[in-house]
Structure 1
């Protein structure tokens, strides 16, 4: 059961109050999130190209659960629980790598093929009625969506495509080289803030010209007044066309640069996956908000370029994100998380206007609604 005084009235976004502060730090609510939100949601693990050949693997940890995604010798990509079927030892500790033949448990050397089948179990010939066929790795539901590998622990969940109809077409409209993307860089950042605080910050532009200097630089690259934030059920977009006459970005000249799109493009999938592209960069970024505790998160930034190429302007954009924009947002995340504990605060008001303008917080309300409905099904 949820702790007392932790209900929320969804209400009309123009008159509603925000989620009560406890939703951002209460351990009991966090346990509910694990069970009802994250163990029943789709999680983006990697691009399909991150497991390019037989034996290539990547692991994903969702709380105490760990999953291996691996490409088999038949070229199929599969997902398995990252645990030996003998005594429960975790098989793989690395984020990514390659095995030549089998996954071998470092405890008692039980070994599993790339298809999950048990290949060897030392001294198992001593056991009566032991059948290797019944001791293979346990599968995890997996789907490839828009070229990315997603996993879900809930076998009854809608597919990603069913959950987000039209989302892949929208991504491909802005990212023409989606199928040719290769990883340029992956950056993990630990943040002492609840994952929802971080999500909220990313899906409103109210603060863009009101907070720090890096956000003001971002607004100098885009037609800020044309910034649109749209909800489509379990997915949403927020984007803006480039500002006319821009000649430089991220300290580099735009003239002669190649790019996927000159728009600032973002698409979010509930609960915590975002695909994006900065203006004038030849890349696709992934932004995953991974909760690690009631008030801690791991932010995973993936940067992908067509065939792994990195033009100078794109390289500058990635550096700008890692060293300027990201830290400026994280500083806001940290002060917000601290403020949510104040005796002087419980709920606020969404800044939502009837026009759903560029500075409206209607996507924050929409996200809160999806979250609350998942938390309290």
Structure 2
């Protein structure tokens, strides 16, 4: 018995409670020396000793939207205020903040309260969060009880990616399956759309896409997952198409044939250009006839022999004529290029005759 009766503080503490202590208890007041006794029958206390204490109370949570604040509370009874239980949490979110305190309940009993506040993340979806109450005992082992609640978070698609079966490098004619995987809540209304790099229009719809590989199927593929809270597009993944042995022979053959035809056409073009150029140059060369060759030879012959003609100049002065030398006519000779005609000029009643001179050493004919 503890407490001060004059202050109406009457408390009874039971230590080392066992199952035999289960019973109905009454408070009795007895005073001496007048021997006053009174039992408060109507104010009885029923004590039921259990093997394990009651589990803590953990508030249930509805579905919460990603990014919103969440508050979880856990409470455990403290039948012995001097030795209250301790509360602990498991699967604590990274952003959690926890506070714990001992409080008195409306029925005048004490309980330990623990509160945990955090921001919901898609990584916390379907996480089992537990609150554990540990009661100290005077024996070797403490008693622990716990309660668990599952956290449900609503969020748009996350971690969207593609799986390729059998692998990302396949041969022509192989069946390939592309699967789009994504995390989302709700997930039952997820829509999937397939795209290929370089093409504007969607390639297909649905979680999976299966096709028989041809040479044109190689390239980069991506998928977009969408629910009512948003969408996300995966990173592009490359599908490599391996060419078979027969195709590896045919393709170089075709390429070589095309290259040969191109080289032949180029050679023909160069020959045509060359021929046209030669014809153009030939059309600009003057035509030389046999007569031209004769004229040219005669010209060269005249230039080579340095042929000159003499010319006479008329003067007013009469040259002196020796008396004994007979009738001799004099004239001046000027060496000029050959002229084809003989010119006769009369002056002052005298007739002058011109002669062709073929060479300075040749004899001059006179009349």
What TM-score results when the alignment is normalised by the length of structure 2?
A: 0.17
Higher helix share: 1
What TM-score results when the alignment is normalised by the length of structure 1?
A: 0.17
Whichever of the two has the greater Rg, that structure is 2
Higher strand share: 2
